[in-house]
Amino acid sequence: MAEFSNPNQQGGQDNKSLVAMMVVLVAVFFGLQFYRAKMNPPAASPSPAPVAAPQTPAQPAVAPAGASAAQTAAQSAARPAAPGKPMVPAVPVVQASGETDTVVENELYRITFSNRGAQATSWVMKQFKDSDGKPLDLVHSEAAKLFGYPMSLYTYDGSTVSIASASRNGNLVTLTTLGSVPANVNGRAVAIAGISDNSFNGTYAVTQTGPNTLTYVQGYGDNANSTGGTLSTLNGATGETLSQALFVPSATGELTAPATLAFKFSDGDLQVTKTFSFDETYVLHAEVQVTRSGAPARALLSWPGGFGDQNETPNMTGYTNAQFDSDRNGSDQHLAPKKVTGGETLNGPFDWAGVSDPFFAAVFLPDSPATATLATLNGVLDVSKTIKRVGFSSGSPPSKALPLPILGAALGDTSGPTETRIFVGPKAINILKSVHAADSKVTLEPMLEFGFWGPIGKYLFLSLHLIHDHIVSSWSGSWGWAIVLLTVLINLLILPFRVKTMQSGLKMQRIQPQMDAIKEKYKKFKVTDPKRNDMNAEIMQLQKDNGVNMFGGCIPTLITMPLLFAFFTMLPRVVELRQAHWIWLPNLQAPDPWHILPILMVVSQFLVQFYTPSPGVDPQQQKMMAFMMPAFSGYMTWNYASGLALYWSVGNLISIVQQAVMNRTSLGREMREIALKRARRKGGNGATIQGRK
């Protein structure tokens, strides 16, 4: 048979080349395996166990405090997988070896972060002082110890157990639960509610003494026993664990904004990253990502425990006037503490949401309003030993607990990671207007809320602000002088109505004898007799024929009383007047320490009643009102904001001057003469308490 051969073939050279190439590939393959094994040593194999038994987690590799995450990551080999399942890589362990602080500041604030929990332990407002003259710290120190610090994480894996019995011996309370107490509860704060004797209820740090017993300390209360109620953890088990975890910060020491600060933690299963960005404003940005075994885990960024200035506001208004604020699609809502349910979850959209007291706020402005989710937090704190007290018993030690609400809020995102801006600062109107939500048309201005008289109170404050900024801002005690000038302006504006009232009153006095005759004609009929309707019809017709408006005398009151009530609700809610002084008054939002204005208030109110004619009013009623109104006004201003007493007293003094001048006019003299004649006819002695020169 003929033999065919390739003319380009070089004998057996190609076979040798193929063998050489295969040898090189095998060498490279085994070399890579050797290199990988050397650079990535395998984790210690778990001890033999049944297939269904859980894996024993590897011990965490502890990193030096302050080291970067990349430097602290412990490298792990692939975890053994169940038969037929793919290999799952282990999570690197990231954990600091000790506690460190990082301080971030700008011209407005100084925030101290601890790597324990990656949370803020201090949030100082540089432009505001506390009652001791020190920079104000917005972290409520007592509340934070129980409810958590700002920027901590809130989770839903909490526990609630029923209480079988409670007993108090001295100041030590012992609880017995139905079933085991929640895991890891020792040393943690819990909420105790619903016990038959409500003196046991409250928020306390507890000590576990047995599988179903624990104790806590109360400052007040007699020896007692009770039953029923529940014990609930304030946060989930994961949230509590993370609040004690030592995160690795991207920087320690001091940072000056603009700056970025990141915290990372991993225990081999749970991974957490918090990243905060700061600028020159009161707003910072936060990104939070939490995963467990590689899957997103639900954890909400929180401001859980009130504000550091709440103990300083008189009459407990820092707590009672706290509120939960939110804005959905441009519609704002403000809820008082009694309307806030602790632990309730609200789903978006939220343009912004958070909590505030009368002067300061902590508000989340989510990057994705549509997927934002919010948890409302509402606890109870005994402030009997820390709150500033006013009144006659303010100098004596407290004799019982004073439980007041502590509001908080926590924000998350249904899509997983949380990205939000956070405003923490004063509720000053110019600042709130400058903070915009994701929708640039929405601002934080609606947070400045004045209750039922809100619309009037808002424009009253804007007028006060305008006078302050453009006329008296450079004066000593500028806000006090702004109140004085605003009061003068209001009284000048209602002067024409006062004149109109006097004219209407004069007409009323001129027809008073005819009105008395009509009343005398129908006196024999009972009040329920239909004939009384005829009497009223005749009187109204008489007034109409003589051009008398029966409501004409009410016009000044209809104007001044809403303004007074609006001032009453506005004054303690504006941060601009916080600690504002005027002459002898150290704080226009606190009572007059010398009670000078309340005394002036009583005297001036009596003179207002004395000088102002009241046509058609019985002299005995005039005397009664002349003493009741001063007593009422004195009571109102004795322990209330001195700014209100200043507004009211100046208004009274202006009214006295105006009325004294008007009483000397021909109109005033005629009214006085008619009133005296009528009084002589009725009383026979001519005495009257009003309408004097």
pLDDT value of residue 176: 97
Q: What amino acid occupies position 140? A: H
**pLDDT tens sequence across 414-459:** 988 999 999 999 999 999 999 999 999 999 999 998 878 888 999 9
Instruction: Give the pLDDT band (50/70/90) at residue 38.
Output: very low
With 70 as the cut, is the pLDDT of residue 81 above it?
no
Rounded-to-10 torsion of CA 526, 532, 538, 541: 140
With 50 as the cut, is the pLDDT of residue 233 above it?
yes
pLDDT value of residue 553: 61
pLDDT value of residue 261: 98
- Looking at per-residue pLDDT, the higher value among 19 and 305 belongs to 305
Q: How many angstroms separate the Cα of 415 from the Cα of each of 277, 299, 412, 652? A: 21, 12, 9, 60
pTM of the predicted protein model: 0.80
Average pLDDT over residues 625-647: 87
Surface-to-core class of residue 181, CB atoms within 10 Å of its CB (0-12 exposed, 13-18 middle, 19+ buried) = buried
With 60 as the cut, is the pLDDT of residue 380 above it?
yes
With 80 as the cut, is the pLDDT of residue 21 above it?
no
Domains by residue range for the chain, with CATH: 101-153+241-312+321-378+414-448 (2.70.98), 159-234 (2.40.30.180), 463-511+546-683 (no CATH)
Least confidently predicted of 151-165, 477-491, 547-561: 547-561
Average pLDDT over residues 362-387: 95
Surface-to-core class of residue 520, CB atoms within 10 Å of its CB (0-12 exposed, 13-18 middle, 19+ buried) = exposed
Instruction: Give the pLDDT band (50/70/90) at residue 160.
Output: very high
SS3 per-residue string spanning 436-462: ECCCCCCECHHHCCCHHHHHHHHHHHH
Least confidently predicted of 79-83, 119-123, 128-132, 619-623: 79-83
Mean pLDDT, the chain, rounded, equals: 83
**pLDDT tens sequence across 91-108:** 789 999 999 999 999 999
Residue with tokens 């965490």: 60
pLDDT value of residue 412: 97
pLDDT value of residue 27: 54
Average pLDDT over residues 117-137: 96
With 50 as the cut, is the pLDDT of residue 652 above it?
yes
- Looking at per-residue pLDDT, the higher value among 423 and 70 belongs to 423
pLDDT value of residue 189: 94
